[in-house]
Amino acid sequence: MFVAIIFALVIVASIAFHFWSPWWWTPVASNWGNIDDTIILTFWVTGAVFVAVCLFMSYCVWQYRYRPDRKAEYKPEDKKLEFRLTWLTALGVVALLAPGLVVWKEYVSVPDNAFKIEVVAYQWGWNYRLPGDDGVLGKTSIDLVSDENPYGLDSKDPNSKDDILVMDADLHLKINQPVKVELRSFDVLHNFYVPQFRAKMDTLPGIITYYWFTPEKTGKFEILCAEYCGTGHYAMRGYVQVDEEKDYSNWLAKQISFEKMFAKNSGKKLLIAENKN
Amino acid sequence: MSDEYTENKIEAKSADSSSGGYAPPADHIPAKESPDQELYHAKSFWTKWVFCQDAKVIGVQYALTATAIGMIGLILSWGMRLQLGFPETFSFLGPATYYQSVTMHGMIMVIYLLTALFLGGFGNYLIPLMVGARDMVFPYVNMVSYWMFLVAVLVLIASFFVPGGPTGAGWTLYPPQAILPGTPGSGMGIVLMLISLSLFVIGFTMGGLNYVITVLQARTRGMTLMRMPLTIWGIFTATVLALLAFPALFVACIMMTLDNLIGTSFFMPEIFTMGEKLETGGGSPILFQHLFWFFGHPEVYIVALPAFGIVSDVISVHARKNIFGYRMMVWAIVIIGALSFIVWAHHMYVSGMNPWFGFFFATTTLIIAVPTAIKVYNWVLTLWRGNIHLTIPMLFSLGFIVTFVNGGITGLFLGNVIIDVPLSDTYFVVAHFHMVMGIAPLMVVFAAIYHWYPLITGRHLNQTLGKIHFWITFVGAYAIYFPMHYLGFIGVPRRYYEMYDSPYMTSGVGLNQFITVAALIVGFTQFLFLYNIFTSWYKGEKSERNPWKANSLEWHTPDYPPTHGNFGKELPVVYRWPYDFSVPGSDKEFIPQHVAPSEVPTAKVEQT
């Protein structure tokens, strides 16, 4: 009796916690609100199964608790019941998977008008590179990285000249402009993650990875590294500031291009000196 | 065994002819296929209890060693929880120490505690007894297996004492960071970890071949595969998985050791770090992740399948009812095992592998939910119309069902590739895997220990301590991990030493403190359990033979607790599955596996 009630209470408490918990996700600030919808759907379907199975278990524990005069049923199999449960479960799985895959298709299909930017990750900080007026990012190579050329840009590539180098942990983006972030790492794995955008992807040394999103709310959002990258992992932060058109142009005007930086040729800012620890 | 071979040799045991016109069922005894195994008889103390070849003693050795290292893993988790709940309070917890604790806690719990306990511990003790064999087929190799495991554990412990300390690379050991100076223990620490894992795999392979071949070749007469207890099915399938999966870990360990020591570049691309370019190039960090998870995902089922099997038997025995849908349960175990090899990249949805893989791996991952759900239904349907004894093993089994279903459904979140994008690498993941492969299998470990302790020692564990242990562990662990999922929703990333004043975290401060306090209480309760184990060994209430009235062979040995050779002069002959409880028509409440049909002529059993 007591046992059945406690088990049932644990389930009821879980439901209550879910609905009254003050802890819930931060309001979405990108186009990926449909990820939240998929999660809500999954909550309802799987939550119903969890509650049903566990309450049924509690009921059995209460109804069929030991009595000396009771004899348990002897029933090795019930093909019909097993068959029905199997297909019902399969149906539930399809209901969860199908919408998920539709959204995933969207996630991996970058729109043509996306603004390509580069995120450079290193132990332990973030830098960024934006294309200049030509809208194309120049070629880079890790062999070319030096004090004078901290991004390793290929100076022979005409596209690199006007690239804008943001050697700062704070990035600005224009509202409602789809962005394709191309992720590049100098050393180990990192992950460019802004909880409000819902999107993330690892950065790897040696290859360029990417994902896309459209910022739909102005504001300042914290960047967290979401792939363990060594002792300074927890301190690898930055901010994304989503601006209206005008504020964005003001910020952009203050940034320096590769050509200018290279011309200065002073290498005053070592990449490694960015280390916040 | 072919049918023609046995057909001629059916021996019908003559039933009592006085039963008049009623023809009793004939007892079918398959012929012996091979002569009795020759058994090694130990003479001295050393060969009986230390360098021992008896699987029962080896099982206990495995279990004790795994528990000892598991306690270290438990204490490491306290350090982490203190830091997360009360940051900047404990000066001895710097970021390096924190990450080393995270890493060693994870590795110890998954490999050196759970894998060793389920397969090395329960596997060794139960396989020969439950299939009706005198011992494992290769007792000497079995002994070496344990000693390799012990050496692996000692090498692991040694890594705490080398310069730089143990590795802090996270239990996944992802290169390049695992072997670069930005990670604690990137010198000797990681090398000893890789060596220890390699030794573990070698030792496990010796044991694993034993378990598989014993199940396939040394079952007693009449013990068909479809009459094996589900415990054996679970351990057997898990061992097959481990034999196929561990080699991937083994080669990954060797390759990373070479990258670290002699400068190869298996996993190392061109890297620019600390102001200079390293002399590496051409390797792939994702290759390591594929190798690691090709081992790592089956590893989840290596822990889960024995738990599935054991809990099925415990529920059936203590509910006095046959397990519901036995054949479906067996096939579910086998199908889950097979599928577990084609889902590994669901750990890598945001790793930077080709994103189109997401479609395939999300589909295979969610398909696994079907056989798994069937198992859950069948456990609760076994309780339905049973006669449930709320013994401590049963309580832990019920706790298992709740925590496993909870952890299983959050797996449906993470397996569905798009939902994994916001939730991966957050506390949602931490909560999920602790619930489903930490707490749930541990519930079964406890159920199994309370269930089989009388068999091993001849005494019961203290019931009051047991009940306290259960309620604190179950309610406490649930209170730790259920709310933790919601930290993940806020966006709190895992493996963060501290969050400063991040807006995401400030709302979770109170919750983190609560979790830390709960974790300390639950942790201390495990020491109460250890106290119970050690004191009951010589002071516990004496157990009568077969105290739970179970049907499987291990409870029906001539000596109780079973002694060397297990079954006395004659090996038992098996006539039925181990789930004939409350059979209609029979005056017996349970019919053990070795009882011939002619001894229970009125029992209306269904063909098994």
Residues of A in contact with B285 (CB under 8 A): 189, 204-206
Same domain membership, residue A145 and residue A261: yes
pLDDT of residue B608: 59
From A88, A108, A128, give the residue that closes a domain. Answer: A108
Which residues in chain B touch residue A187, judged by CB atoms under 8 angstroms apart? 176-177, 180, 182, 271-273
Contact call for residues B318 and B393 (beta carbons, < 8 A):
yes
CA distances (Å), origin A102, targets A180, A182, B7, B398 = 19, 23, 58, 37
Cα Rg, chain A, nearest whole Å:
27
**A224 with B493: Cβ contact below 8 A:** yes
The residues near B482 (Cβ < 8 Å, ≥ 6 apart) are A14, A17, B406, B431, B435
List % helix, strand, coil for chain A (3-state, nearest 5): 40, 25, 35
Residues of B in contact with A186 (CB under 8 A): 271-273
* B108 found inside a domain: yes
> Is the domain of A97 the same as that of A134?
no
Please tell me whether residues A76 and A146 are part of one structural domain: no
Measured between beta carbons, which residues in chain A are less than 8 angstroms from residue B168?
A: 231
Q: What is the CATH number of the domain that holds A249?
A: 2.60.40.420
Please enumerate in sequence order all residues whose Cβ is within 8 A of that of B504, keeping only pairs 6 or more positions apart, or say none. Answer: A26, A195, A222, B490, B491, B492
Last residue of a domain, one of B197, B228, B259: B228
Residue of A nearest to B318 (CA): A66
Same domain membership, residue A133 and residue A71: no
Structural domain of A140: 115-274
Name beta bridge partners: A179. Answer: A115, A213
Mean pLDDT of A228-254: 93
- How many angstroms separate the CA of residue A254 from the nearest CA in chain B? 27
Chosen domain end from B186, B212, B228? B228
> CB distance from B405 to chain A under 8 Å?
yes
User: Contact B169/B186 with Cβ under 8 angstroms?
Assistant: yes
Instruction: Please tell me if residue B446 touches chain A, with a CB cutoff of 8 Å.
Output: no
Nearest to B383 among A57, A122, A200 (CB): A57
Which residue is closest to B587 within chain A, CA to CA? A71
Counting Cα atoms < 13 Å in the Cβ hemisphere of B272 gives 22
- Report pLDDT for A47: 95
Q: CB distance B502–A189 less than 8 Å?
A: no
Summary mean pLDDT of chain B: 91
Dist CA A166 CA A129 (whole Å)? 6
Cα B559–B562–B565 angle (5° rounding)? Answer: 100
Q: What is the pLDDT of residue B13?
A: 40
Question: What pLDDT was estimated at residue B17?
Answer: 39
Q: How many domains does chain A have?
A: 2
* Predicted local confidence at residue B558, as pLDDT: 92
Residue B494 lies in a domain: no
pLDDT band at B15 (very low <50, low <70, confident <90, very high): very low
Residue A270 pLDDT greater than 60, yes or no: no
Of A77, A103, A104, the CB nearest to B327: A77
pLDDT of the residue at A276: 42
Spell out which residues of chain B touch residue A110, defining contact as CB-CB under 8 Å: none
Please, which residues have CB within 8 angstroms of residue B419's CB and are 6 or more apart in sequence? A35, A38, A39, A42, A100, B413
Q: Given pLDDT bands bounded at 50, 70 and 90, which one contains residue B607?
A: low
CB B450 within 8 A of CB B465: no
Instruction: Using a CB–CB cutoff of 8 Å, tell me whether B380 touches chain A.
Output: yes
Element (H, E) at B535: helix B509-539
Domain identity same for A149 and A132: yes
B467 — phi, psi (to 5°)? -65, -40
Distance from CA of B333 to the nearest CA of A (A): 15
State how far residue B314 is from chain A, nearest Cα, in angstroms.
15
* Cα(B313)–Cα(B543) distance, integer angstroms: 20
State the count of interchain CB pairs (< 8 A) between A and B: 321
Chain A neighbours among B 540-599 (CB < 8 Å)? 579, 581-584
Q: Specify the pLDDT at position B142.
A: 95
pLDDT reading at B1 higher than 50: no
Q: Are residues A206 and A122 in the same domain?
A: yes
Q: Given an 8 Å threshold on Cβ–Cβ distance, is A272 in contact with B275? A: yes
Average pLDDT of the residues in A164-193: 94
Q: Please state the pTM of the whole predicted model.
A: 0.93
The CA distance from B364 to B336, in Å, is 11
User: Do A171 and A46 share a domain, yes or no?
Assistant: no
Question: What is the number of domains present in chain B?
Answer: 2
Chain B interface includes A270 (CB < 8 A):
yes
Average pLDDT estimate for A174-199: 95
B527 falls within a domain: no
The whole-number pLDDT of residue A24 equals 87
Given a cut of 60, whether residue B14 has pLDDT beyond it is: no
Q: What is the mean pLDDT of residues B285-306?
A: 96
Residue B161: count other Cβ atoms within 10 Å of its Cβ: 10
Residues contacting B400, CB < 8 A, separation 6+? B307, B311, B440, B443, B444, B447
Asked whether the predicted pLDDT for residue B48 surpasses 90, the reply is no
pLDDT tops 70 at residue B31: yes
Task: Give how far Cα A165 sits from Cα of B11, B86, B314, Å.
Answer: 88, 39, 64
Q: Distance of alpha carbon A117 from its chain centroid, rounded?
A: 17
The answer to whether the CB atoms of B180 and A188 lie below 8 A apart is yes
Measured between beta carbons, the chain A residues lying within 8 angstroms of B482 are: 14, 17
A193 touching B (Cβ < 8 Å): yes
Please answer whether residues B138 and B213 qualify as being in contact, where contact means their C-beta atoms are separated by less than 8 angstroms. yes
> In angstroms, rounded to a whole number, what is the distance separating the alpha carbons of residues A95 and B77?
38
Is position B34 within any domain? no
Q: Is the domain of A160 the same as that of A242?
A: yes
Boundary residue ending a domain (B181, B209, B228): B228
Six token digits for residue A136: 């194309």
- Report which DSSP code applies to A207: B
Q: Is B202 exposed, middle or buried (0-12, 13-18, 19+ CB in 10 A)?
A: middle
Do residue A24 and residue B490 have CB atoms under 8 angstroms apart? yes
Residues of B in contact with A82 (CB under 8 A): 325, 328, 374, 377-378
Kindly indicate the confidence band of residue A265, based on its pLDDT and cuts at 50, 70 and 90.
low
- Flag whether pLDDT at B514 surpasses 60: yes
Choose among B168, B398, B579: nearest Cβ to A57: B398
Q: Is B190 a domain residue?
A: yes
Whether residue B109 is contained in a domain is answered as yes
> At B140, which CATH number?
1.20.210.10
Q: Record the tokens describing residue B231, joined without a space.
A: 């415990």
Cα dist from B271 to B335, B351, B393, whole Å:
42, 18, 54
Closest listed residue to residue A100, CA positions, set A150, A34, A15, A43: A34
Task: Name the residue among B495, B352, B181 with its Cα closest to residue A185.
Answer: B352
Question: What is residue A22's predicted lDDT score, i.e. its pLDDT?
Answer: 86
Q: A116, A137 in Cβ contact below 8 A?
A: yes
> Mind listing the pLDDT tens digit for each residue in B195-211?
999 999 999 999 999 99
Q: Cα B585 to the chain's mean position, in Å?
A: 38
**Lowest-confidence pick of A141-155, A213-227, B276-290:** A141-155
pLDDT at B57 > cutoff 70: yes
- Chain A residues 196-255 within an 8 A CB cutoff of chain B: 196, 198-207, 209, 222, 224-234, 237
Predicted complex ipTM: 0.93
My answer on whether A155 and A253 are in the same domain is yes
Q: For residue A266, what pLDDT is reported?
A: 52
Residues of B in contact with A195 (CB under 8 A): 422, 490-491, 504
Task: Report yes or no: B345 and B293 within 8 Å, Cβ to Cβ.
Answer: yes
A229 in the same domain as A264: yes
Better pLDDT: A266 or A242? A242
Are B425 and A200 in contact (CB < 8 Å)? yes
| Boundary (domain end) residue, out of A108, A123, A138 | A108
CA-to-CA distance for A121 and B198, rounded, in angstroms?
A: 33
Q: Is A37 near chain B, with CB under 8 Å?
A: no
Contact B383 A64 (CB under 8 A): yes
Looking at the domain assignment, is residue B269 inside a domain? no
Has residue A244 got a pLDDT over 90? yes
Least CB-CB distance to A108: which of B180, B355, B583?
Answer: B355
pLDDT, mean of residues B177-181: 94
| Cα A65 from Cα B430, distance rounded (Å) | 35
Share of chain B above pLDDT 70, in %: 95
How far is it, in rounded angstroms, from Cα B553 to Cα B228? Answer: 10
Determine the Cα–Cα distance for residues B522 and B518; give it in Å rounded to an integer.
Answer: 6
3-state secondary structure of A205: strand
> d(Cα B220, Cα B233) in Å, to the nearest integer?
16
Residues A88, A60, single domain; the answer is yes
pLDDT, position A268: 45
Task: With beta carbons less than 8 A apart as the criterion, state whether B441 and B299 touch.
Answer: no
- Name the one residue in this structure whose structure tokens are 């120490």: B97
Q: Which strands make up the sheet holding A256-257, listed edge to edge?
A: A209-213, A179-185, A115-122, A125-130, A164-166, A256-257
Q: Which region among A19-33, A197-211, B55-69 has the lowest average model confidence (pLDDT)?
A: A19-33
The two three-digit tokens of residue A236, written as one number: 């690898």
Rounded mean pLDDT, B492-501: 86
State which residues form the domain around B572: 541-602
Residue A67 has pLDDT above 80, yes or no: yes
* Minimal-distance CA residue of chain B relative to A152: B272
Given a cut of 70, whether residue B8 has pLDDT beyond it is no
Q: What pLDDT sits at residue B417?
A: 95
Asked whether B333 and A53 are in contact (CB, 8 A), the reply is no
What's the confidence (pLDDT) of residue B466? 96
B141 close to A (CB below 8 A): no
Judge if the upstream peptide bond of residue A32 is cis by omega within 30 degrees of 0.
no
Q: Find which of A55, A110, A182, A200 to mutate to test the B interface (most B CBs within 10 Å of its CB).
A: A200
* Residue B26, domain member (yes or no): no
Please indicate, yes or no, whether residues A15 and A37 belong to a single structural domain of this protein: yes
Q: Taking residues B148-169, what's their average pLDDT? A: 96
Give the pLDDT band of residue B12 (cuts 50, 70, 90).
very low
> What is the average pLDDT score of chain A?
90
Q: What is the Cα–Cα distance from A177 to A210, expressed in whole angstroms? A: 16
Last residue of a domain, one of A89, A108, A127: A108
pLDDT tens-digit series, residues A92-128: 999 999 999 999 999 999 999 999 999 999 999 999 9
Stretch 160-199 of chain B: residues touching chain A, C-beta under 8 Å? 168-170, 174, 176-177, 180, 182-184
Interface of A with B in 148-167 (CB under 8 A): 152
Q: Judge contact between B259 and B283, C-beta under 8 A.
A: yes
